[in-house]
């Protein structure tokens, strides 16, 4: 490393030092002597850092991708009920605390997780998976309620001409049932399910698939999540992430990984969008 090649670069709401790429492998043999300069400045003394900054400036957030369960619809309690009911039919007793351990995973992964531990043999994992999906779908259609701020947040991004997507761990047939139940299917330009990906959340595949379907750069995407598993998936996809956890999970320190944490979708507005890199 030669000299001090640090420039103050503003990423989102925080100012962080960025090491000039000239210092890597000695690309340039001179110092970048300029003072700390904001990201939107064109007066970097180092041409490589100036080019790098210009490329970042061009990526403005113009796409929003939502998780579904626990964020758009209050379905997490219904999932818990369905899991406990179906698992009890194979002699497995799960407390609410235990069912919360697998929040955000695909249904078949939840079943596989508990089958590996309890090793029941009265029903196949595939049958248990199907019964859980059927049970939770029925519960949602009978009593599933929209989360606070659902209409507001969809209207907010539609008014700003954002591309809007949904990336859920739930099976496609359940996603479609929920969207029809809430009468919001036409609000989304793309809907993707981790059911059809090789890996579910926390792998970023479903988020990347949604961004691709929307023809959006992942760096231009803002993701909304309610779980740690989903948050990690969106961050791994290189997206900005807003988390809106359930009340009893808000103090989970793992949510510090998110770019922004809210108690309600109603708390998001122009100030937050600007801080995260939106227009």
pLDDT in tens, 77-127: 898 899 999 999 999 998 888 887 787 788 899 999 999 989 999 999 999
Please provide residue 272's backbone torsions phi and psi, each rounded to the nearest 5 degrees: -65, -40
pLDDT in tens, 128-143: 999 999 999 999 999 8
Q: Mean pLDDT lowest for which of 40-54, 67-81, 130-144, 223-237?
A: 40-54
Q: Considering the chain, what percentage of its residues have pLDDT values greater than 70?
A: 79
Question: CA–CA separation, 221 vs 56, rounded Å?
Answer: 14
How many degrees, rounded to 5, is the angle at CA 8 between CA 7 and CA 13? 155
Residue whose pair of structure tokens reads 């698939």 in the numeric block: 209
Domain 76-143 belongs to what topology? DNA polymerase; domain 1 (1.10.150)
CA dihedral (228, 230, 235, 236) positive or negative: positive
Residue 9 above 80 pLDDT? no
Residues 6+ apart with CB under 8 A from 164: 63, 64, 65, 66, 154, 157, 158, 187, 188, 189, 190
The pTM for the full model equals 0.75
- Considering just the CA atoms, what is the radius of gyration of the chain in Å? 22
- Give 69's strand partners: 73
Domain boundaries, the chain: 6-57, 63-74+145-276, 76-143
Nearest to 40 by CA among 60, 20, 22, 21: 60
Query: If you average pLDDT over residues 1-19, what whole number do you get?
Result: 45
Q: What is the CATH number of domain 63-74+145-276?
A: 3.40.50.1000
Q: Mean pLDDT lowest for which of 50-64, 208-222, 256-270?
A: 50-64
226 is catalytic: no
Please tell me which residue in 4, 69, 155, 226 is annotated as part of the active site.
69
67 is catalytic: yes
């Amino acid at each position: 490393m030669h000299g001090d090649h640090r420039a103050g670069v503003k990423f989102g709401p925080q100012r962080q030092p960025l090491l000039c790429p000239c210092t890597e492998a000695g690309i340039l043999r001179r110092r970048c002597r300029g003072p700390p300069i904001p990201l939107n400045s064109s007066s970097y003394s180092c041409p490589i850092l100036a080019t790098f900054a210009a490329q970042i400036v061009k990526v403005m957030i113009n796409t929003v991708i939502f998780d579904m369960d626990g964020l758009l619809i209050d379905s997490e309690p219904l999932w818990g009920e369905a899991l406990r009911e179906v698992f009890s039919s194979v002699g497995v007793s799960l407390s609410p605390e235990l069912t919360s351990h697998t929040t955000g995973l695909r249904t078949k992964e939840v079943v596989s997780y508990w089958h590996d531990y309890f090793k029941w043999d009265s029903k196949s994992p595939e049958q248990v998976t199907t019964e859980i999906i059927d049970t939770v779908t029925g519960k949602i259609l009978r009593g599933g309620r929209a989360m606070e701020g659902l209409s507001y947040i969809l209207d907010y991004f539609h008014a700003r001409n954002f591309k809007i997507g949904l990336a859920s761990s739930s099976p496609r047939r359940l996603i479609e049932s929920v969207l029809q139940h809430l009468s919001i299917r036409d609000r989304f330009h793309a809907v993707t399910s981790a059911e059809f990906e090789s890996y579910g959340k926390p792998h970023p595949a479903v988020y990347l698939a949604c961004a691709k379907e929307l023809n959006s750069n992942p760096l231009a995407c803002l993701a909304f999540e309610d779980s740690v598993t989903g948050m990690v998936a969106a961050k791994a996809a290189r997206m900005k992430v807003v988390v809106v956890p359930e009340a009893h999970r808000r103090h989970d320190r793992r949510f510090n990984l998110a770019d922004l944490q809210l108690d309600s979708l109603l708390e998001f507005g122009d100030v937050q969008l600007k801080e995260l890199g939106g227009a």
